[in-house]
Amino acid sequence: MESVVSELEGTLVKEKDGFSYFMLVAFEASGLVRFALLLTLWPVLGFLDMVGMKDLALRLMIFVAVAGVSKSEIESVARAVLPKFYMDDLDMDAWKVFSSHNKRLVVTKTPKIMVERFVKDHLRADEVFGTELSFNRFGLATGFVLSHSSNTISQRVAQFFNNQPPTLLMDRLNPPIVNQNNDQQLLRPHPVIFHDGRLVKRPTPSISLLILLWIPVGILLAIIRIGIGCILPFWAIPHISRLFGGKVIVKGKPPLPPSGGNSGVLFVCTHRTLMDPVVLSSVLRRKIPAVTYSISRLSEILSPIPTVRLTRTRDIDAEKIKRELSKGDLVVCPEGTTCREPFLLRFSALFAELTDRIVPVAMNYRVGFFHATTARGWKGLDPIFFFMNPRPVYEVTFLNQLPVEATCSSGKSPHDVANYVQRILAATLGFECTNFTRKDKYRVLAGNDGTVSPTYSFVDQIVKVVRIRTFIQ
């Protein structure tokens, strides 16, 4: 049996220095203050590394990034945030060599809790050996590494292979040699479909400094942009938004508004952010109601268009949608939740049962600094983070209304119609279809089913976080 041992930093992933990953943990698990503190220590860490005190630099970086943070929060970031950035930094040549062996082991200087999910779930490694963090009896990280954890990695590697030397050792001094002839037989890393966290780019020192300098400007800009959306008429928003850096790209031909006694058109959209229905309404220059599932009350208050809250009880929701369609056009996102990566979640078939006037709309967006969705954080801040980006761009592509033969009127099942709509939208965007659902996403990212209680207000969330921060400090 062929076996391989590979370093993570500088071998399987290109980045040799783990600083940016600790910055992610600091930002996502703790907040802006710790993020800024770790950035200010970067020159010190660089000096220690330059004079040969790399171990001390690593321990200092670990301490500042995680001291006082709960184990569950670190695990959550490692599960929901870090895999995306590690995957983006993956060295595919090294991966090809690594995956061609039967037994695969990864060693790392990073705390094991931060990398284990990525290494096992996405790189298909059998085991990972790294340093172990110390936690107190309350489950909070002390910031220190267990004294014996780094000294016994070589012994644990030998024990893992039953004291037999591995077939291949991959590290910075032993770069992998790729056999191009075996590409078709190699495994592929499991893709990152679910991803959370607010930061779009991996926070290197320069990007981190840029983010910190931009945030005050971004907050002011977000307030102005939201105010414009709430005050100005919809026909004026596309023109004014350009003055403040926003851009909407429209492709395809939008349908005309309903006339006479005709029922409204059901716009079936991909779900990228909470802004999807708002952007669609601004493109059509009229307020189109949107059905919602589990958005916060703050988002409903800030929304410039009417929202119809569904209950996830099929019969009740069907009646609500029918009632709204009898009044005019309506927007629905049948994925039931947002997805950032180039994948579409499974479409609920309910919309296909209720009307034959279906117009698929492919929605996509591009942002520079902050993601406008969250599974673990405050959903009420989603619009604010979207508008904090310097130049947020939305792409809206209208597809043709479904022909009668592609709807339930021709005898097709609702599931067939929903799957067809999912496929054509995925093809338009260059995305992949999946069978994952909203519950799958939230179980991976947040450890719950994604339901937000209407009585759990934005103020309740603030109070909860303040209590946690006070306890930790």
pLDDT on residue 466: 37
pLDDT on residue 465: 39
Determine what percent of the chain is predicted with pLDDT higher than 90.
63
- How, if at all, do strands 141-145 and 307-309 pair? unpaired
pLDDT on residue 364: 96
Q: Exposed/middle/buried for 13, CB within 10 Å: 0-12, 13-18, 19+? A: buried
Comparing C-alpha atoms, which of 169, 255, 252, 283 is closest to residue 424? 252
Sheet holding 168-170, edge to edge: 127-131, 103-111, 3-7, 168-170
Summarize the confidence of residues 291-297 as an average pLDDT: 77
pLDDT on residue 245: 87
Task: Give, in degrees to the nearest 5, the angle at Cα 350 between 347 and 351.
Answer: 85
pLDDT on residue 455: 41
Summarize the confidence of residues 163-180 as an average pLDDT: 79
Q: How far is the C-alpha of 107 from the C-alpha of 154, rounded, in Å?
A: 9
418 conformational bin, left if phi > 0, alpha if psi -120 to 50, beta if neither: alpha
Cβ pair 113, 122 in contact under 8 A: no
Please tell me whether residue 350 adopts helix, strand or coil conformation. helix
pLDDT on residue 471: 32
Q: Is a pLDDT exceeding 70 seen at residue 429?
A: yes
Question: Predicted confidence band at 261 (pLDDT cuts at 50, 70, 90)?
Answer: low
Q: What is the pTM of this model?
A: 0.87
Of 52-61, 115-124, 182-191, 457-466, the range with the lowest mean pLDDT is: 457-466
Of 243-247, 397-401, 417-421, the range with the lowest mean pLDDT is: 243-247
Please name each of the domains of the chain with its CATH number: 3-185 (3.40.50.1000), 214-472 (no CATH)
- Distance from chain centroid for Cα 451: 18
Summarize the confidence of residues 40-48 as an average pLDDT: 95
At 266, list the tokens: 């059901």
pLDDT on residue 183: 52
pLDDT in tens, 192-229: 999 999 999 999 999 999 999 999 999 999 999 888 87
Task: Give, in degrees to the nearest 5, the angle at Cα 184 between 180 and 186.
Answer: 85
Sheet holding 266-269, edge to edge: 247-251, 393-398, 358-366, 266-269, 330-332, 290-292, 307-309
Question: Predicted confidence band at 469 (pLDDT cuts at 50, 70, 90)?
Answer: very low
pLDDT in tens, 324-368: 998 889 999 999 899 999 999 999 999 999 999 999 999 999 999
Cβ pair 249, 393 in contact under 8 A: yes
Q: Which residue bears the tokens 């990953």?
A: 21
What is each CA distance from 244 to 98, 199, 231, in whole angstroms? 48, 21, 15
Cβ pair 194, 444 in contact under 8 A: yes
Q: Is a pLDDT exceeding 50 seen at residue 473?
A: no
Please tell me whether residue 304 adopts helix, strand or coil conformation. coil
pLDDT in tens, 83-109: 999 999 999 999 999 998 989 999 999
